[in-house]
Amino acid sequence: MKPSQPRNQPPNWAVRFFRWYCNDHLSDAVLGDMLELYARRRSAKGKSKADALFILNVLLFLQPFAIKRKSNSTQANSIAMFQNYFKIAWRTMSRQKMYTGIKIGGFALGLATCILIFLFIRHEISYDKQYKAGAHLYRVYNDYSGPDGGKWTSFPASIVHILKSDFPEVEKAGRLIPYNGWFNAGSNLFRPADKLENSYEEGFAYADQELLEVLEIPMVYGNPLHALDKPNTVILSKRKADKYFPNEDPTGRTIILNEDKTKPYTIGGVMYDSPANTHLQFDFLLTLTGVEFWPGEQTSWCCWNYNAYVRLRPDANPAQLETKLLSIRDTYYVGYLQETGNQSAADVKKYQHFRLQPVAEIHLQSEGISDSIPHGDIRYIWLFGGIAIFILLLACINFINLSTAKSANRAKEVGLRKVVGSARGYLVRQFLTESLVYSFVSFVLAILVVSLAMPYFNSVAGKHLMIPWTEWWLFPILIAAAIVIGLLAGIYPSFYLSAFKPVDVLKGSVSRGSKSSKLRSGMVIFQFTTSIILIIGTVIIHRQMKFILNTKVGFDKEQVLTIQGANTMEGNQTTFKDELLKLADVEHVTINSYLPIEGTKRDQNPFWKDGKSKEEKAVGAQKWYADEDYLSTMGMKLVEGRNFILGLASDSQSIVINQAMAKAMGLTKPVGERIMNWETYTVIGVVEDFHFESMKGAIGPLSLVIGHGGSIVSVKAKSKNMANVLQSVTRVWNKFMPHQPIRYSFLDESYARMYDDVQRMGNIFASFAILAIIVACLGLFALSAFMVEQRSKEISIRLVLGASVRNVFRLLTQNFVKLVLISFVVAAPLSWYMMQKWLEDYKYRIEITWDVFLLAGMISVFIALLTVSYQSIRAALANPAESLRTE
């Protein structure tokens, strides 16, 4: 019945809400009563009051007696009905194998991606959550907010004593030196004192005894409170202890590092291997007790090399403590600067801050803090999470699209069910049951896919993830997720399908699924937009990678063999070098510790123009010790001046700087200028800028001074046949170092390894793009099959009337191509914006050019055409009589 006066009605939503929850037995009668009462109250009390009372009544009826279905017989009945639902679901699934396969296959792929990414994210956010006092553990870092500002984690040696003595909030504080190449930190040659053979080991760091207590490092052997408190002690991880001292407690044993027999280390204990989800991954911790790297080092504020971790008292307020920490700056640091006459004291007072970072946040939220520890990135967590959800959405869309498209086939069933007395609710329940069945089957399949794809994912993402089979929550979560996703994907189709009017259906006038074609087109556009964005992203990441690997880096990384661990050779290095030079394939040889790739030695030194250290601000620069063959071995170019000359005594006071340093120091005619660091040097040459750090940052100032010896021997080969070179070099090495196996790498490979993370991103993106395309194409394939099926009569008639195969093909495909083109128009600007953001991380980057978009557009149109054309061509080639004679 149509309402005569809209104003005489109670709020529509309340009525609908009531009808939704109330059972059929009472619904009409009670609503009638309430409407009657409403009409009475409206005339007596006015609309607003009547409305309010009506809503109150609707809410008061929200009780079990009104919600529960009233019949006693439903219990037994519903079991029978569910059995029937399952049977029908099974029959539809097995009758239409292709559609079922696509629905389930697409779903399973999407779910598998989601599960993988969920496991990945779970791993990433689990970092450093295991500490008992986790809420009170912090890392101290510097925040310099002025020009050329930055954040970094190193402090002078005295930091922990100051923290503990000046601030009662600090309960414990420990230092750590994780820097590769800082004395014995990083990698070393290692042997137990009673063995002869040396082995190369990585993962060394210097640490305080108290750091073990702050970071609650669990010990297998040894006293956790005294493991590092004596000078020259070291603790090993369990796996290393098992390697060198199997089946025994090595506490008290002696080890030798780098053949330095004057300074043996005593093992103070064995710690458990650090779990994969901690930011500090070390196998050897060398004590800082009694260590003084050079005279006065422990008390001076000159050199900042220590990371500091603190445990605060439970009642301490970290924000307040941060403000209090400024007193360190004002008393100690500024004091030191003024004493030495440094000009930056005023700036420091203005810009320098000390901050506290919760240890649990170090892994994901250290963007912008330089600490030379590998990190995750919270942005990637969001990105991957987003992509996972999008791919799942694509799969859900397939499900919805196919279910609604095929609705005509189910319409008769719906009509008949309604005629024999099925209420809409029952039908909704039936279709939801069906989509749940799909969802569960897909989940089982997805788990299978995940366990198969896990090794591949691990190698791409550089992780060691596993399906946590043994965790109690795994199956409940999976089941809950299957239910939620099944309902999500099924809710629209089930309401859509159950809404058919029996009269229309049985008369045969139901529009054959065309009603929602707009919605379906929208969904196809959504799918392809996502896919195209991922394709464009993949292409751009790939190009940036290629750019990094092939761009001129300022040195020649081809045909260079590097041998690590030469520092143990001591006095024999020059002879070794001469021997190598005698080999036929060898062009140049240089020995030092600094290479233009990450992971080799770095430092940072202040430089001034001669005599200006009290007046001017320092320029921070690398100071690398190199011999006269360094530039030629590395293929670096001098733009001005000369190289070091062998045997020229005055060259010990000479320095070669790079262009960036000349610019930073404001030297227009650098050659001949005198600059000072701790000593005074004369600039003899300027080397062309070369990349010595990641391309993410600009090339910084760098200088070379003469020095002989170091840990890395670099050999430039004449021929391209590196295998030969390696063989002859190894022979020479074994003659010199019979107890130490040669350890080598190729410069170009080490360089490529610096950009592993970019490569990784590229691979992950490519995998995602392929997945998205597969899921979208599965959907498109099924849709086109459906469309061809629907229009088979039309096509037959066209063919009979003389349409060519090409006409039919065009007719069937142009719609889909149009959709893909629209998606492209949506995707192009979006992806341009996103990739621009990504590229901003790189100081040296490619321009995004139009051909990327052209390529992506063509790929997607091509793939879509390929998908659609199979069905279209089949339809166009079919014999028209086949489909026409049935009528």
The residue ranges that bind other proteins (CB under 8 A) are 1, 3, 25-26, 28-37, 39, 57, 60-61, 63, 65-66, 70
Burial (CB < 10 A; 0-12, 13-18, 19+), residue 175, is: buried
Return all residues near 352 (Cβ < 8 A) that are at least 6 apart.
142, 143, 144, 329, 333
For 294, the token pair is 């050079």
Rounded to whole angstroms, the Cα distance separating 118 from 443 reads: 14
Cα separation of 434 and 93, whole Å? 9
- Which lies closer to other proteins via its Cβ, residue 66 or residue 846? 66
Give me the DSSP letters along 625-665: EE-TTHHHHHT--EEEE----TT-GGGGGEEEEEHHHHHHT
Residues 598, 358: Cα–Cα separation, whole Å: 27
Q: How far is the CB of 503 from other proteins (least distance, A)?
A: 21
Nearest distance, CB of residue 501 and other proteins, angstroms: 20
Distance CA 621, CA 619 (A): 6
Minimum CB distance to other proteins, residue 35 (Å): 5
Q: How far is the CB of 78 from other proteins (least distance, A)?
A: 19
CB nearer other proteins, residue 26 or residue 389:
26
Q: Name the minimum Å distance from CB 496 to other proteins.
A: 28
By DSSP bridging, strand 702-706 and strand 619-626 are parallel
Least distance to other proteins from the beta carbon of 24, Å?
A: 11
Helical segments of 182-248, H only: 209-214, 238-244
Asked if 435 and 97 touch (Cβ cutoff 8 Å), the reply is no
Q: Helix or strand or coil: residue 564? A: strand
With respect to other proteins, which residue has the nearer C-beta, 32 or 455?
A: 32
Helix axes 850-877, 756-790, angle to 10 degrees: 30
Q: Of 54 and 167, which CB lies nearer to other proteins in the complex structure?
A: 54
Whole-number minimum distance, CB 502 to other proteins, in Å? 22
Provide, rounded to whole angstroms, the least separation between the CB of residue 504 and other proteins.
24
Q: What type of residue sits at position 126?
A: S
The distance of closest approach from Cβ of residue 10 to other proteins in the complex, given in angstroms and rounded to an integer, is 11
- In angstroms, what CA-CA distances link 650 with 177, 489, 574, 682, 705? 36, 79, 20, 10, 12
Taking the least distance from each CB to other proteins, the nearer of 65 and 272 is: 65
Minimum Å distance from CB 58 to other proteins? 9
Q: Are residues 429 and 523 in contact, defined by beta-carbon separation less than 8 angstroms?
A: no
CB of 9 or CB of 714, closer to other proteins: 9
DSSP-based three-state secondary structure for 611? coil
Which is closer to other proteins, CB of 58 or CB of 591?
A: 58
> Which lies closer to other proteins via its Cβ, residue 28 or residue 578?
28
Q: Are 570 and 736 contacting, i.e. CB atoms less than 8 angstroms apart?
A: no
Query: Toward other proteins, which CB reaches closer, 23 or 728?
Result: 23
Beta carbon nearer to other proteins, 52 or 378: 52
CB 207 within 8 A of CB 271: no
- Distance separating alpha carbons of residues 748 and 720, to the nearest angstrom: 13
Distance between terminal CA atoms of the chain?
41
Cβ nearer to other proteins, comparing 37 with 873: 37
Q: Which residues pair with 142 in a beta bridge?
A: 152, 354
